[in-house]
Structure 1
Amino acid sequence: MRVRSELVSAFVLRNARLLGQSTLGHLVDDPALLVIQVSRRLPLGVRTRGGRMLQGVGRAVPRGRGVAALGAVMAGRPSVALELLERPDRRPPGPFAAEVAVLLDREDLVVGTARASTRARAAWSAGRVGEAVAILEEAGHGDTVQARRLRSEIALMTAGADAVVARAPRETAASPDSAGRPLTVLHLITNSLPHTQSGYSLRTHNILTHLARHGIESVALTRTGYPVMVGKVLAADEDVVDGIRYVRALPSSLAATPAERLEQEVEAALRLVEELRPDVLHATTDYRNALVARAVSRATGIPWVFEARGLMEQTWIASRATPEARESAAASEKVRLLAAREGELARQAGAVVTLSRTMAEVLEQRGVDPARITLVPNGVDEELLALDLSPAEARHTVGLDLPPDAFVVGAVSALVDYEGFDVLLRAAAAIIDRDDAPVAGTLHVVLVGDGVSAPGLLQLADELGISVRVHLPGRVPREQARTWVQALDVVVVPRRDVDVARTVTPQKPVEALALARPVVISDLPALRETITGDDGTLHGEIFPAGDHERLADVLCELAADPARGTGHSRTGRATVADRTWPALMRRYERVYRTLSDDRSAT
């Protein structure tokens, strides 16, 4: 018992050290963002109340405008934050105001007197990565932790740069004897269950569990420092979830630069290679995981797969706070570097997997041989096809207390800006204002999940006067998510018309079809792909992205004609019966066996 207690104390101390290093780094790199990230771990109500309190405190103290603005951001009121930052005042706003301006993508408010570190953050946030380093060097800060980190990140993003290598040389691993041994794959991923519940982690878990049932052994390694760096100080070195082994790269101390941290992950991966002797390495978005896979492959001779689930530069552009910032970001140096780097890595991988035809076309434009691209769309569990709860029964099961005649629309989703749920709220307000709308008196919106947009959605509902009709229950356990989908009369996916939404296919529409729920989507290529049958038939309703009036029309039409929604539900469920995870595993097996056989033949 004493030995065990000492071991537990040792790993807790190590984790506390890692968390402390990470927190200190964030304080230096971006203090305002650190506060926001910590606040997102809080329940939505606590987060918004805390933001309002911080706003009041900031208003009450000298030079507290930055603190007040940060509180407004926490409370989902970015327009109030900007008013505070833009307000003329004889007193200087204080250095923290510039930090919040960076957070809001308002580089024009980062005055020339701001510290070099803040001006460099502003340039980096806008995608002018080389300029960010130049600002620090011109100010005599070229040897600071911030400057070294930025130079390291630029090297990671730069095509042709060998920024990540195996620290110690390895003899090329011999091709393992396959007799009586299952095909084995080492997956290199960013995050995972049980610490992160997202579309990324759920797809990963579905793939790994169904590969195991298909006879393919899988072990996953997450990025250096995860999950301790996201606040899980009691995290263990491994987690086993539904029989799947998730290994953590938790060194005794975090390396100083991003490239060195990836090399720490390489070393952790090489230890697993010695233990598992995998046939294939499988790196999943983004390019940093691919860099690790490439380094391990070069050190061992094991072939590697790159699964591109998204395009990192598009996701980054969509995260910018304003249309002007998104336009500027799209033309930035960072975007050019990321696109070139991910294209290079995709070309170098032994095989490429992606989710949609639209993403495959982008990869082909980047020079990837179409013959090396395998499509593995989002799948569904077979058991979903047999579930048959009515909306009323599902609402009772999850404890959603609404009137019996409620017409409930919404989604189970991450609440981020490009998902476009503000469009849904405006559509709901338009319906409620229509005297002749069939559901004006019974419409309710339910958005299950959390994210950066949650406080703003609550604020918007209040401004529209529909707060009593909008319900945000927050995050729910993954085993309850499907019941929440069944609690909806219509699932709405109102994504904005941004590049990431045009190319990346979400899981939500596929699962909704499997659960026999009518689906309404923005008319975007990737979304159309999710509800289109092999014969080209659409098994759902569409509306122009961003057009809340047309969305209101579609919802009213479905409410007035229940048979229309029922028809979509019936044919949609039949369509996704061919997209079950067990069926999709055969595609992965073909990729793995081809690479493994090619290796054995050389």
Structure 2
Amino acid sequence: MTRVLHILDHSLPLQSGYTFRTRAILKAQEGLGHEVRGLTGQRHIAPAEGAEPESHDGLCFYRTPGTPSGPPGLSEWQEIGAFARRIEAVAQEWRPQVLHAHSPALGGLAAVRAGRRLGLPVVYEIRAFWEDAAVGNGTGREGSLRYRLTRALEDRVVRGADAVVTICEGLRGDLVARGNDPARITVMPNGVDLALFGQPLERDAAFAQSLGLGEGPVIGFLGSFYPYEGLDDLIAAMPAILAARPDVRLLLVGGGPAEAALRAQAQSSPAAAAIHFVGRVPHHEVDRYYALVDVVCYPRKAMRLTDLVTPLKPLEAMAQGKLVAASSVGGHRELIEDGMTGTLFPPDDAAGLAAAMAALLDDSAMWDARRAVARAFVERAHDWSVNARRYDPVYQTLLTRRQAISGAAA
């Protein structure tokens, strides 16, 4: 099998959607017989664990020492240089056959630079366009100088890599529209490690009561509170949902930049008594909160980020045996078939959201069938133990090509 060094922005023990996808990929590849290790750049900020490689959840990770510093532009260039040198050092010690870099582009460029010096093929995997993520998070502005520079750097890495992987058709289509060869770009869909989603927990009635959820249906959101998630639309829809179903409750688990504004909005809402914030919870306790929820709602706003990128959370909810309702942005439409695996409603439309939720809550007779169809969909198309096999042809094509080039040179 193949020995693969994964080049990462950050990793376990930090917990994020990025690290959970990384963990799932590495675990699945190990299950297929590959040897895998990770290497993070200087932006991975976590307590040092002593001797390298560090071991987390049975996976090995190397680190890049130092902290980015200096004026913008120079700092990033120095960071890329340090990262590339560290990749070379680890590669000379561990002898990988493939460098598999994951966005953002700083790590990708470091991998391309190191790969050329080492004579190793480079796969670059794009999970999102980080300039669009910055706009969605409120830390960037579309069309700004930083936005354009980040996009240009991404394009440079895509051109320099031997193969490119994206997590969905939206990202792949955008890259093709920029003039990249579609034959070089493979889609590796978001997935779920179903080994972590065994039998969902039973609803704890006493726990639900302690949170003020009552006996009625519960709409939930579990994740980060960014403005693009559209939770303000969900809160705005609650009075109309309550008018149709007075016993419904809304449970919001998590936190983030929009939390203060959302709490203020909920407090001033006529539905305030039915909206319950929990705050952030440890990852190992998330299942307890999923067990309280009947419908998990993802009201993302329409924008480049949400139209191009498929989120992981709806797949996790389906794996948990939950009903899923989501705005009909492009990323959701790639994952959810309306009326089959979930319910879609118009984005940026509190009234449309309320009408869709009221109809779903009123049709409880079909809930079990919908849950079963959604779970089967995840098992068939989004289980990492299956999805990870899609990397193998990419690796083997590059290794065969590299061997042919080496043979011709000899």
TM-score normalised by length of structure 2:
0.90
Higher relative contact order (CA 8 A, sep 6+): 2
Q: Does 1:413 align with 2:223?
A: yes
| Deviation of 1:503 (Å) | 0.7
Superposed, 1:238-317 pairs within 5 Å as 238-251=53-66, 256=70, 257-317=75-135
| Deviation of 1:491 (Å) | 0.6
Match of 1:528 in 2: 333
Match of 2:368 in 1: 566
- Asked if 1 retains the 8 angstrom alpha-carbon contact of 2:76 and 2:106, the reply is no
| Deviation of 1:267 (Å) | 1.8
Partners of 1:583 and 1:384 in 2: CA distance: 15
- Asked if 2 retains the 8 angstrom alpha-carbon contact of 1:385 and 1:573, the reply is no
Given candidates 500, 507, 513, the residue that maps to 2:305 is: 500
Match of 2:282 in 1: 477
Which amino acid is the alignment partner of residue 291 of structure 2? Q
Match of 2:236 in 1: 426
Partners of 2:38 and 2:289 in 1: CA distance: 29
Partners of 2:64 and 2:377 in 1: CA distance: 40
Partners of 1:349 and 1:537 in 2: CA distance: 40
Match of 2:345 in 1: 543
- Asked if 1 retains the 8 angstrom alpha-carbon contact of 2:225 and 2:258, the reply is yes
Match of 1:458 in 2: 263
Superposed, 1:114-263 pairs within 5 Å as 182-195=1-14, 197-228=15-46, 232=47, 236=50, 238-251=53-66, 256=70, 257-263=75-81
Q: 1:398 to 1:241 in 2, by over 3 A?
A: farther
Secondary structure of 1:224's partner?
coil
Partners of 1:510 and 1:477 in 2: CA distance: 20
Partners of 2:348 and 2:261 in 1: CA distance: 17
Q: 1:548 to 1:357 in 2, by over 3 A?
A: same
| Deviation of 1:502 (Å) | 0.5
Given candidates 173, 176, 191, the residue that maps to 1:364 is: 176
Match of 1:103 in 2: none
1:13-59: CA deviation from partner (whole Å, max 9, x where unpaired)? xxxxxxxxxxxxxxxxxxxxxxxxxxxxxxxxxxxxxxxxxxxxxxx
Secondary structure of 2:176's partner?
helix
Secondary structure of 2:180's partner?
coil
| Deviation of 1:415 (Å) | 1.1
- Asked if 2 retains the 8 angstrom alpha-carbon contact of 1:224 and 1:262, the reply is no
Which amino acid is the alignment partner of residue 424 of structure 1? L
Q: 1:192 to 1:398 in 2, by over 3 A?
A: farther
| Deviation of 1:212 (Å) | 1.1
| Deviation of 1:548 (Å) | 1.0
1:475-528: CA deviation from partner (whole Å, max 9, x where unpaired)? 323233344323211010100011100011111111111222111110111101
Secondary structure of 2:252's partner?
strand
Q: 1:254 to 1:368 in 2, by over 3 A?
A: closer
Could you tell me which runs of 5 or more consecutive residues in structure 1 were left unpaired when the two chains were aligned: 1-181
Match of 1:554 in 2: 356
Which amino acid is the alignment partner of residue 129 of structure 2? L
Between the two proteins, the alignment pairs up a number of residues equal to 399
Which amino acid is the alignment partner of residue 134 of structure 2? W
| Higher normalized strand content (fraction of residues) | 2
Q: 1:537 to 1:492 in 2, by over 3 A?
A: closer
Which amino acid is the alignment partner of residue 144 of structure 2? S
Q: 1:384 to 1:540 in 2, by over 3 A?
A: farther
| Deviation of 1:400 (Å) | 5.6
| Deviation of 1:429 (Å) | 3.0
- Asked if 2 retains the 8 angstrom alpha-carbon contact of 1:223 and 1:265, the reply is yes
1:129-155: CA deviation from partner (whole Å, max 9, x where unpaired)? xxxxxxxxxxxxxxxxxxxxxxxxxxx
Partners of 1:562 and 1:295 in 2: CA distance: 56
- Asked if 1 retains the 8 angstrom alpha-carbon contact of 2:7 and 2:107, the reply is yes
Identity value in percent: 32
Match of 2:378 in 1: 576
| Deviation of 1:567 (Å) | 2.6
- Asked if 2 retains the 8 angstrom alpha-carbon contact of 1:490 and 1:520, the reply is yes
Which amino acid is the alignment partner of residue 361 of structure 2? A
Match of 2:324 in 1: 519
Secondary structure of 2:268's partner?
helix
Could you tell me which runs of 5 or more consecutive residues in structure 2 were left unpaired when the two chains were aligned: 406-410
Q: 1:472 to 1:191 in 2, by over 3 A?
A: farther
Secondary structure of 1:272's partner?
helix
Higher Rg: 1
Partners of 1:526 and 1:201 in 2: CA distance: 20
1:273-316: CA deviation from partner (whole Å, max 9, x where unpaired)? 01111111111111111111011112111110110110122112
| Deviation of 1:255 (Å) | 5.4
| Deviation of 1:183 (Å) | 1.3
Secondary structure of 1:464's partner?
coil
- Asked if 2 retains the 8 angstrom alpha-carbon contact of 1:398 and 1:483, the reply is no
Partners of 1:515 and 1:225 in 2: CA distance: 33
Q: Does 1:354 align with 2:169?
A: no
Match of 2:408 in 1: none
1:356-412: CA deviation from partner (whole Å, max 9, x where unpaired)? 11111001112221112111111122336642444x24x657996345413211222
Match of 2:398 in 1: 595
Secondary structure of 1:519's partner?
strand
Q: 1:357 to 1:281 in 2, by over 3 A?
A: same
1:436-468: CA deviation from partner (whole Å, max 9, x where unpaired)? x12x2x222222222111122111111214444
| Deviation of 1:235 (Å) | 5.3
Tell me how large the CA RMSD over aligned residues is. Answer: 2.3
| Higher normalized helix content (fraction of residues) | 1
Match of 1:131 in 2: none
- Asked if 2 retains the 8 angstrom alpha-carbon contact of 1:188 and 1:282, the reply is yes
Superposed, 1:19-168 pairs within 5 Å as none
Partners of 2:11 and 2:272 in 1: CA distance: 34
Q: 1:569 to 1:332 in 2, by over 3 A?
A: same
Partners of 1:396 and 1:356 in 2: CA distance: 41
- Asked if 1 retains the 8 angstrom alpha-carbon contact of 2:200 and 2:287, the reply is no
Secondary structure of 2:157's partner?
helix
Q: Any runs of at least 4 consecutive aligned residues in structure 1 with deviations exceeding 3 A, and if so which?
A: 234-239, 253-256, 383-386, 395-404, 465-468
Q: 1:482 to 1:217 in 2, by over 3 A?
A: farther
1:526-567: CA deviation from partner (whole Å, max 9, x where unpaired)? 1011123xxx97411111101111111122112211123333
